[in-house]
Structure 1
Amino acid sequence: MQKVASMDWDKVRIFLAVARSGQLLAAARNLGLNHATVGRQLTALEEELRVKLIERHVNGCSLTLAGEAMLATAEKVESEFLQFESGLSGAIRGVVRIGAPDGLGNYFLATRLAELSMKHSDLLIQLLPLPRSFSLSRREADLVITLDRPAQGNLIIQKLTDYTLSLYASEEYLERSPPIRHVDDLAQHLFITFVDDAMYTPSLDYGRELASGMPHRFECGSVVGQMEAVKASRGVAILHDYAAKDVPSLRRVLPDLRFVRSYWLTSHPDTHRSHRVTEVRRHIAEAIGLARESFCPWGIPDRLAA
C-alpha cells in the first residue's frame, strides 16, 4: 500500500480506469484523455513496478494475477484519498458501483439513485440491474443486493426488506382467455417465467409448482422482459407486486397465491467505511425504508407459497 501511495497517482488512476472498464478506449473516454496517453502511462507503470499488470487483447484487456493484487491495493488507497477529500468538504466524490437484481434495479433503484446523483456532481453512481450475481471480493461492485443472505465471507450485511410477488395478467388477456378461478385453470394459459438453467439463485425458483401444471411456457431470463410480455397480453406471470401494482392494465390473478422473498444489502469491509459507499448505502436503505409498504402491498400471507 505504501508502494502504491509513493507512485505517481495519475498512473495508478489510469490503471484503475482500465481495470474497471476492461478497455483502453473506454478508460480514455472516462478520464478525458487520449487513447495513446492511457496506453503509455499504463506501460510506464508496469515498467516502474517491473511486472505485467494488464494483458491487452484485440477486444479488450484483462488483469494478470499481479494486476488483480494491484487493483485491490489501489482501490484501498483510492478509497482513503476520497474519504479524506470528502471529509474536508462534506461532498461525496468518486465512483460507486451497485449490483442489483433487475427487478429492484429497474423498477425502484434507478430513479432513486439518479436523484442522488443529481445532488452530487462529483459522485458517479453505476447501477447494474442485471439477472446475475456479483462478486464483492473481485470488486465487480461496491454494493451488492441479493435475494439470499450471504452465508460466507467477511462481509457487511443488512436486510433491506421483504417483498411479495403475485400472479398477473393483463385485463385484455383475461377478457379474451379462459377464466382463471382455480390453480388448475392455469393449465390452459401461457406461463411466462424464468429460464430454468439460467437462474443464478434458487430464490428465483418460485414458479416451479405452477410450471408443473402449465405445459405451455415462454421462458425469459429478465424480469423486465417478463413484465413486457404480460403487459402485451401474451400470458400470465409471477411479478413483483411493487412493480406491477401500479401498472393500470395489469390485474392480479388468484390473489390468495403470493410468494415472499427478501432483499439483502452487502458491502466489503475494505470499501464499506469509505464516505461515498457509506452515503450511497444509507440512501438505498432509507429509500427502501420509506417505501416498505409498497414492497408488501397486501401484507405477508400466513401460509406462504414456495
Structure 2
Amino acid sequence: MDWDDLRIFLAVSRAESLSGAGRRLAMDASTVGRRVARLERAIGAALFAKTPQGYTLTAEGARLVAPAEAAEQAALAAAEGVAREAGITGQLRIGAPDGCANYLLPQVARDLCEAHPGLEVQIVALPRVVNLTRREADMAIAVSPPDTGRLMVQRLADYRLHLAGHDDYLARHPPLRDLDDLRGHRMISYIPDMIFDRELDYLSATGVEASQISSNSVAVQMQAVRAGAGLGIVHDFAVPSAPGVRRVLMDRFALRRSFWMIRHADDRASRRLTLLAEAVAQGIRAELARLEGVGDACPVRGT
C-alpha cells in the first residue's frame, strides 16, 4: 500500500469531495479520483460512497482512517526530524590545538552557521588537550589519539609541515642547501617544557638543539616567521594566510601528522552531535585539501 495513496484518501475523507481534496493537495480532481480508485483496487473494497452531499466513508473506509492517520503521524514526525537536522540550533563547542583553531575551524564554523542559522559555534583554542570528561567541549580535535577514558576517537586526516621563512629574512641570510645550514639561522619553535603532545616536538626532527624564539602557540610562531624573525616549522595549511612566507628545503625535511576527532562515549546516542561531528570532520578535510593545495601552488626557495 502506497503512503501517497493513503495521504490522498485522508484528504478526500476530510474534504468530503474530490475537488476539495484536490485543492488541499494541489492536484486536479480527476487525478484524486484515479488515486482513490487505485487504493480501492489494492484493498479490494469501496472506501467512499458518492452522495448528493459529497463523498462519505463506507464501513471499510472508516476502518482505514485510524491506520492511515497513524501513517500520517509517522511521516510528519520523520519530516520534522529532517527539518530539525537541516536546521540544527543551540550551542556547539569545539576544542582544538591553536593551529587547527586558527587556520581551519573559522572556515568550518562559517559553513556550519550558514547551513544552520540557529547554531552558535564556540572554538576553544588551548595549548593542551581538551578534557571532555569535564565537558570542556562537545568535541575535540587532537594531534594524537587518547589511550584512556570513555571516548569515541575518529581519525580525520593527515596534514603536512615544512620549514619556512619570510622572503625578507631569506634574502638577508645565507642560502639553505641542506639541514646542516640551519645552524647558521635563527629558529622559531615551541617552548620545550610546554609541549603538551610528543607529536608537536618538531624541532628535534631537524637536528637543531634549540630555538632562539619560542612560543606555546603555533599562531604566534607563524607570526614570528611572517615578521622575518627566523625560520619555523609551519603547517602547510597555514602558509596561504601568510603572504611572503615560503617553504624551504622541501626535499630535505617534511613532517606528516594527523588530526583526530574525540567525543565522549555518552554522546554516541545524540543524533544532533553525530550530525555536527560529521559536518565538522568533512569541513576540516575540505579545508585541509583546499589550503594545502594553495600552498603547493606557492613558489618555494632553497630546494
Same fold (TM over 0.5): yes
1:104–1:169 Cα change, 3 Å: same
CA distance in 2, matches of 1:162, 1:216: 26
Maintained 8 Å contact 1:189/1:214: no
Please name the residue that 1:143 is paired with: 139
Runs (4+) off by over 4 Å: 294-299
CA distance in 1, matches of 2:165, 2:279: 33
CA distance in 1, matches of 2:82, 2:248: 55
TM-score, scaled to structure 1 = 0.64
Maintained 8 Å contact 1:162/1:296: no
Maintained 8 Å contact 1:164/1:295: no
Describe how 1:96-115 pairs up with structure 2 within 5 A: 96-115=92-111
Once the two structures are superposed, residues 63-121 of structure 1 have per-residue CA deviations (whole angstroms, 9 ceiling, x without a partner) of xxxxxxxxxxxxxxxxxxxxx9x838513122211101111111011122122123323
Greater shift after overlay, 102-111 or 246-255?
A: 246-255
Letter in 1 for 2:216: G
Task: Say whether 1:204 aligns with 2:200.
Answer: yes
Maintained 8 Å contact 2:240/2:291: no
Please name the residue that 1:225 is paired with: 220
- Residue 126 (structure 1) aligned to one of 122, 126, 132: 122
1:292–1:119 Cα change, 3 Å: closer
- Residue 244 (structure 2) aligned to one of 234, 243, 249: 249
CA distance in 2, matches of 1:92, 1:286: 17
Maintained 8 Å contact 1:159/1:263: yes
1:255–1:119 Cα change, 3 Å: same
Maintained 8 Å contact 1:94/1:124: yes
CA distance in 1, matches of 2:273, 2:217: 27
CA distance in 1, matches of 2:112, 2:155: 21
How far 1:151 moved relative to its partner?
Answer: 1.6
3-state SS of 2:202 partner: coil
How far 1:266 moved relative to its partner?
Answer: 1.0
CA distance in 2, matches of 1:287, 1:178: 40
Once the two structures are superposed, residues 231-282 of structure 1 have per-residue CA deviations (whole angstroms, 9 ceiling, x without a partner) of 1101000000111146330111111210111000011122243233222211
Please name the residue that 1:269 is paired with: 265
1:215–1:141 Cα change, 3 Å: closer
CA RMSD of aligned residues (A): 2.3
How far 1:200 moved relative to its partner?
Answer: 1.1
TM-score, scaled to structure 2 = 0.65
CA distance in 2, matches of 1:222, 1:265: 20
Describe how 1:167-246 pairs up with structure 2 within 5 A: 167-210=163-206, 213=208, 215=210, 217-245=212-240
CA distance in 2, matches of 1:114, 1:246: 17
CA distance in 2, matches of 1:137, 1:158: 17
1:88–1:242 Cα change, 3 Å: closer
Describe how 1:30-45 pairs up with structure 2 within 5 A: none
CA distance in 2, matches of 1:111, 1:215: 34
Maintained 8 Å contact 1:187/1:214: no
Among the aligned pairs, what percent are the same residue? Answer: 37
Structure 1 unmatched runs, 5+: 1-83, 300-306
How far 1:171 moved relative to its partner?
Answer: 0.7
Bigger-Rg structure (1/2):
2
Letter in 2 for 1:235: G
1:132–1:274 Cα change, 3 Å: same
CA distance in 1, matches of 2:100, 2:164: 18
